[in-house]
Amino acid sequence: MVRDKRITVFTPTFNRAYILSQLYESLKKQTNQSFLWLIVDDGSTDNTKELIDMWLVENIIEIRYYKQENGGKQRAHNKGVELCDTELFICVDSDDYLTEDAVELLITTWDNIQNKENISGIVGLAGENRSTPIGTNMPTNIKSSTLNDLYNRHGFRGDTALLYKTEILKQFPFYVVEGENFIGEGYVYLQIDQNYSLFLLDRIIYICKYLEDGYTTNVRRLIKNNPKGYMVLNKQSTLLSKTIMNRYKNSIKYMIGCILSKEKHPIKNAPDKGLALLAYPAAMLYCILHYR
């Protein structure tokens, strides 16, 4: 363990040299410097390495840089968790940045949690700016929740910033499909939800910007190019759904993944064969409308 650092700020990046400096500037301004910045470069072909080499020479914050062949965010995340040796871990995407008090708020909040036995980390707010959350504020009648229940039971809407205990993340790596570069983040978070809750922090600590080359604006293309990962993700989501309606919705998504990946036995391998049969017409119609 790194003795004087509490948090690893992890950033997976691919050809984002044009915007990565805004995150760097936000890290330089942190009111608590008990963190290190771990960058996993997922095969960038721009001047990312030269930029980071310059920041390493400046030696203002502790930076660790690792470059690998392009393999997608899930492989980069797995590598980041593998390399992490601090107690806590937060992923900050290369097109986003932290508020100046983010590290301080996270450490103070974490240290003030009295019973952490069933707490996996902290969920804070992401915002368009320091005063405007992307979505709602945290519910005020609870102190902790699973991420899934936060959205589906407690009515939260919007984006979040997620801090996890590193030792827990190491138990739940992302599933990697050969030949594919993406699987939804819910694959890991839903597994953690089965045994742990997140402590709620009703403060904006993460500033999020949506870019044309980002996930949010390219989700349909990502599903088409990574159908097996989408199938695996929604097979798990169906298995772990708590209501029949959510099981049905996730069965539709599972069947979409099966159709796009040309799965030979989608019904036989379905987590709920009856719902898969019912979901097939809706999944086929969706594929015809959006992927023909």
Asked if the model's pLDDT at residue 1 lies above 50, the reply is no
- The Cα diameter of the chain in Å comes to 60
Q: Alpha helices, DSSP H only, in 84-144?
A: 102-112
Q: Which helix (H) or strand (E) holds 155?
A: none
DSSP state of 37: E
Contact 162, 213 (CB under 8 A): no
CA distance 80 to 65: 10
**Chain centroid to CA 95:** 14
Q: Give the pLDDT score at 214.
A: 53
Domain ranges in the chain with CATH number 3.90.550.10: 7-216
Q: Which of 213, 215, 219, 185 is nearest to 290 (CA)?
A: 219
Model pTM score = 0.93
* pLDDT class of 45 with cuts at 50, 70, 90: very high
Roughly what angle, to the nearest 10 degrees, separates helices 227-240 and 244-261?
Answer: 160
User: 256-266 in b/e burial notation, b at 16+ Cβ within 10 A?
Assistant: bbbbbbebeeb
Mean pLDDT value of segment 97-112: 98
Mean pLDDT value of segment 279-289: 96
Q: What is the pLDDT of residues 186-226, one digit of tens each?
A: 999 999 999 999 999 999 999 997 765 555 557 889 999 99
CA distance 49 to 183: 26
The CATH architecture of the domain made up of 7-216 is Alpha-Beta Complex (3.90)
Q: What is the pLDDT of residues 12-31, one digit of tens each?
A: 999 999 999 999 999 999 99
Q: What is the pLDDT of residues 54-70, one digit of tens each?
A: 999 999 999 999 999 99
Q: Give the pLDDT score at 290.
A: 92
CA distance 231 to 252: 10
Give residue for tokens 């391998």.
Answer: 269
Q: What is the pLDDT of residues 261-273, one digit of tens each?
A: 999 999 999 999 9
- Using DSSP's 3-state secondary structure scheme, residue 10 falls into strand
CA distance 170 to 116: 18
Q: Give the pLDDT score at 212.
A: 58
Mean pLDDT value of segment 161-178: 97
Beta partners for 63? Answer: 37
Report the helix count and the strand count for the chain, using DSSP H and E: 11, 9
